[in-house]
Amino acid sequence: MLIGELADRTGVSARALRHYEVRELLVPVRDSNGSRRYGESAVGVVQQIQAMVAAGLGTEMIRRYLDCARTDDHHTTLDMCPDLSAELDRIAARLDRQQAAAAATRQRLTTLRIPATAANDVL
């Protein structure tokens, strides 16, 4: 199938598909006039890439672990390939730190809204 058909079938823009190609996530075959041709399996690969992007993985990590992705009728999962668990733990820890920082910022914003006399009563 051509890039436009793959885009239609997956709901992913042709621009994103070309980006995946540049990042070596999706490898089309080129025909004699240079057009990209994708096999039927490309639909599943794009779904796997999209699921991994939605989970917060960057393209470099996706490239390393795309072979670990499995898609069934309902969703994409990752087999725990070597080193993948540690990578996911690092991402989760980073998200925890970001959430804590956001909560602290929210608290500081709330404190700024308290009138000065009420703030002194709180202290």
Q: Return phi, psi of residue 17, to 5°.
A: -60, -40
Give the pLDDT band (50/70/90) at residue 114: confident
Query: What does the domain layout of the chain look like in residue ranges?
Result: 1-79, 82-123
d(CA 91, CA 97): 10
Fold category of 1-79 in CATH: Multidrug-efflux Transporter Regulator; Chain: A; Domain 2 (1.10.1660)
Dump pLDDT digits (tens) for 63-84.
988 888 887 777 888 777 778 8
pLDDT average, residue stretch 82-101: 90
Give the pLDDT band (50/70/90) at residue 105: very high
Query: Over 70: is that where the pLDDT of 87 sits?
Result: yes
Helix 14-22 to helix 41-54 angle (10° resolution) is: 90
Strand partners, 76: 71
Q: Which helix or strand (DSSP H or E) is residue 48 part of?
A: helix 41-54
